[in-house]
Structure 1
Amino acid sequence: MTIATVPAISEADARIERRLCELATYDSASIWEAQDELSSAIAEAGMHFEGRAYPVCLRPLAIDCGLANHLTATAEAVIKLLDVAAELYCCNEDVQDLFPAYKHLRHWITILPKHRPIVRICRLDGLFGSDGYYKIIETNTEAPGGVIQNGLAAKVWSRIPNPLTHGLSLDVSKQPFAKDPTCFVRELVSAYHSAAGSELKTAAVVNFRGRYANEVDWIVNGLRDAGVKATLLDVSTMKLTPRGLVGPDGELIELVYNKLDPRDVIEACEAEDYLRACAAQEVVSINPWVSQCVLSDKAILALLSDDRFSSNFNAEQISLIARHVPWTRLVREGVTTDPNRRRIELISYIRKNKTDLVLKPSNATRGEHVLVGRLTSSEAWEEHIDRAARNPYVVQEYIAPGEVTALHPPSRSFKKMAYGIDCYVFGGRLAGFQSRASLDPVMNVGRSGILLPIAID
């Protein structure tokens, strides 16, 4: 697969940027009126972020067809890389050492499902590097947010009169999940049929102690609309029996969708039946434990970007990794190679190259404890290096985010905000895009970020 470098912004988006800046100066009332209409329509449609308003911005991010195709090809190819990585984890001790938090669960994680791709639902988060290539900075192969609501939000956005896009030919419906918001549920049903060879009758959306409830209502209701008896269950309420996994009413559960943080579940004794049932494939689990733990861990990018493991990938895949996976290493004492393939002592390198690096907990979510070197004092950086060396952390090359002007509803103002583009992939195929924008250098809707609809011109 040959992919040329592409610009991170289209001419249509540049026009939107100019128009927003002009209207913000001369007619801001018209923009806020349209934003309020959009926010009301989103709320009336029932979209929310764990009970709070779903933060969809009037300003879209416009990309051209060339960029859309580039992102599609990249995302779909990365999913195939993850299949190779999962198989490597099962047989390579050096790979297993990159994921120390899951050592005691290895006997469950290494039971891989027969279907490919292993990752049925995921969201790849990315930024554009200085070389023009899209860089995957997180894989999100556990249970990413936005799988239903972002497609719905795009459709609602497209119906609102928008002074920012007047005269532009922009289309959200080229994205499968915007054209048909039921495509996520259809993927769950299809995944079950592929694994079991029969029609799905019962399913559970599973969380733990009420955490991560975003979109659960949409998923449950979507399955019910598809003719499946579906419910929301806590992992502690399910039992593994000779018949299979059953809920509190004793009914057999055929498929589970994991809407939880694996870090919580793997340490909980009341979750053991559930862990065993998913591992033994007594129930079809979306996604399986290798996806929930290993492939979603940020150390997966250390596996992909380290030359020690390159012999396990073909030439096309090596080229893909070089373009689209940023240099990443698990933080620990020892010798490795830097982004230019020079041998280095890693801890010393991290100390000396603060402005070019980011430290991240390898398996945390929502931007927890992420430290951007160039925005961090030397004292705090030193303290964080010590913490990182004692805990599962990764260090990653810093990718500067792009900037857009956007409406910031909480402050009722226009702000320059950092943005990225994320790719949703269902069943190995691109389902759609989202763009998150934030005043915070760590972009996350859970950290007061906003969502920019992606429109293709």
Structure 2
Amino acid sequence: MLEEAIAHYHELLDAETAEASQICLTDGLRERNLFFGNRPLATVLRPRFVTAEQYDLLRSACGLAATAMRRLAAAMLIDPSIQADLQLTAGEQALIAMDPGYEEPSAHSRMDTFLTLDGSSLRFVEYNAESPAAIAYEDELADIFLHLPVMQRFGERYVAAKLPARHQLLQTLLDAWQAFGNTRAPLIAIVDWKGLPTHSEFLLFQQYFHERGLEAIICSPDELEWSAGQLYARLADRRVPVDLVYKRVLTSEFLTHYGDHALEHPLVQAYASGKTCVVNSFRAKLLHKKSIFALLTDDRFQHLFTPEQQAAITKHVPWTRLVRPGSTTYEGATIDLLSWVSANQERLLLKPNDEYGGKGILIGWETDAATWAQGLKDALHSPSVVQERVEIAYEEYPSVIDGQLQIGRRLVDSDPFLFGSEVTGCLTRLSTVTLLNVTAGGGSSIPMFVLRKREAEVK
């Protein structure tokens, strides 16, 4: 059905409809401030379409992997020796040892995946367990796309159901707050560095919280202070008591920025005291490292998982290992890791263990042998993982360039949002290059819709 639906959508984009739809998209992005820094979030005229069966596959597979990872997190808290395979820093270990006041190690997260157009292949590439962006962006984009003239015409034949997620993020924050034993409404602080390109999303969340009767502020870690058992934010015109921190700042950046004084920071003091609810908690780091996939695919830990979880891991999680000397297993055989990685670059990637935005990734099949050898050598001195290549998804997408409609092939990833272990909503990103990440400086974000034919069209 999808190929037929997409072909019909593109046929509807005559010159007049394409121009009107582009104007509608541009105006909508500007009115809602949907920009990543200075770049518009969406640059194409079609959203991502999936069938109900494909969305169910995303929900089931991601849910099984997420529950497996939570079993790993529980095991690591009981047996810290397992944490060695994550290559945690001393600061991260100290923060993980603190009780966040609620059980869920990653209250909200995102699984980055490739789902092919026909649904025959769903492969994961990484898990953003700490501070996933784009929930508010995707909700707003869905509303804009529904009003495009081409979508209005498309709707005469197909029903496109959007996948909102902001409500679930808010409920997740409130669930954590209530786990603290609180019943009153919290004052929420959205905390990250000043001047980030994602500030526009913080404003969207602030507005959304306000519309639901909750006071919310946006501040940086530098504006927090801890006094007499209360966390405060020092704003330009006032000093505000903070109850609940919606933590968007990454732990690695926080620790690097404050160095030896990080564990004395007001945010950490408030967190350690049990007086301030922080979501996600610092324990999300147990699942956020790229090496979490190495634990999932390692034979040593399969006894922790149910048969259903093991099957989902085998089918959807790519073979991953920390880069280090020694032997390991690949498809049941024992290999010397470094020599095997050196000889099999065409099927492998090297990734920093704790980076984002595509930073530091070396793609074996797009790299010459000398660069790969140097990358492998460098990976031994900075925590890194090697990961097996997965099948990449591609689709045709229309865009208006210099006033002309062009339909071009794009890489497409499908990145479901998880709340606990349940999927609600999905980010979709497009790119013309293998390194698919809007943060890295290119590409487009679009909403996902679950598609079905209208009853009158079903024969």
- Residue 326 of structure 1 corresponds to 318
Q: Give the partner amino acid of 2:307.
A: A
Q: Secondary structure at the match of 1:86?
A: helix
Q: What percent of counterpart residues are identical?
A: 22
Per the normalisation by structure 1, the TM-score is 0.88
Higher RCO (C-alpha 8 Å, min separation 6) = 2
**2:65 paired residue among 78, 85, 104:** 78
Greater shift in the superposed pair: 39-48 or 356-365: 39-48
- Residue 6 of structure 1 corresponds to none
Q: How does 1:321-400 map to 2 (within 5 A)?
A: 321-338=313-330, 340-400=331-391
Contact 1:148 1:184 in 2 (8 A): no
**1:53 paired residue among 40, 52, 59:** 40
1:131 to 1:362, Cα distance in 2 relative to 1, 3 A: farther
1:190 aligns with 2:179: no
1:83 to 1:280, Cα distance in 2 relative to 1, 3 A: farther
Deviation at 1:17, TM superposition (A): 4.1
Q: Give the partner amino acid of 1:158.
A: L
1:356 to 1:152, Cα distance in 2 relative to 1, 3 A: same
1:359 to 1:408, Cα distance in 2 relative to 1, 3 A: farther
- In 2, the alpha carbon distance for the partners of 1:21 and 1:223 equals 37
**1:420 paired residue among 409, 413, 421:** 413
- In 2, the alpha carbon distance for the partners of 1:200 and 1:428 equals 25
Q: Give the partner amino acid of 1:455.
A: F
Q: Secondary structure at the match of 2:241?
A: coil
- In 2, the alpha carbon distance for the partners of 1:78 and 1:114 equals 24
Deviation at 1:426, TM superposition (A): 2.6
Q: How does 1:5-404 map to 2 (within 5 A)?
A: 11-12=1-2, 14-19=3-8, 27-28=14-15, 30-55=17-42, 57-113=44-100, 115-128=102-115, 132-162=120-150, 165=154, 167-173=156-162, 175-177=163-165, 181-211=166-196, 212-248=198-234, 249-269=238-258, 271=262, 272-291=265-284, 293-338=285-330, 340-404=331-395
**1:436 paired residue among 429, 432, 437:** 429
Deviation at 1:101, TM superposition (A): 4.1
1:154 to 1:318, Cα distance in 2 relative to 1, 3 A: same
1:281 to 1:325, Cα distance in 2 relative to 1, 3 A: farther
Greater shift in the superposed pair: 241-250 or 79-88: 241-250
The answer for unaligned runs of 5 or more in structure 1 is 1-10
Per the normalisation by structure 2, the TM-score is 0.87
- In 2, the alpha carbon distance for the partners of 1:341 and 1:68 equals 32
Q: How many residues align?
A: 438
Contact 2:232 2:239 in 1 (8 A): yes
- Residue 450 of structure 1 corresponds to 444
Deviation at 1:90, TM superposition (A): 2.2
Deviation at 1:40, TM superposition (A): 1.6
The answer for unaligned runs of 5 or more in structure 2 is 452-459
Deviation at 1:409, TM superposition (A): 5.3
1:354 to 1:80, Cα distance in 2 relative to 1, 3 A: same
- In 2, the alpha carbon distance for the partners of 1:297 and 1:240 equals 29
Deviation at 1:371, TM superposition (A): 1.6
1:62 to 1:362, Cα distance in 2 relative to 1, 3 A: same
Contact 1:122 1:426 in 2 (8 A): yes
- In 1, the alpha carbon distance for the partners of 2:410 and 2:328 equals 35
1:57 to 1:172, Cα distance in 2 relative to 1, 3 A: farther
- In 2, the alpha carbon distance for the partners of 1:228 and 1:117 equals 23
Structure with greater strand share of residues: 2
Q: Give the partner amino acid of 1:307.
A: D
1:311 to 1:442, Cα distance in 2 relative to 1, 3 A: same
Show CA shifts across 1:347-370 (max 9, x none): 111111111111111111111121
Q: Give the partner amino acid of 2:343.
A: K
Contact 1:208 1:235 in 2 (8 A): yes
1:28 to 1:380, Cα distance in 2 relative to 1, 3 A: farther
Contact 1:56 1:153 in 2 (8 A): no
Q: Secondary structure at the match of 1:437?
A: strand
Show CA shifts across 1:288-320 (max 9, x none): 1121x2311111111111111122223332222
- In 2, the alpha carbon distance for the partners of 1:380 and 1:22 equals 45
Contact 2:12 2:154 in 1 (8 A): no
- In 1, the alpha carbon distance for the partners of 2:210 and 2:9 equals 42
1:400 to 1:167, Cα distance in 2 relative to 1, 3 A: same
Contact 1:20 1:405 in 2 (8 A): no
Q: Secondary structure at the match of 1:440?
A: coil
Contact 1:277 1:283 in 2 (8 A): yes
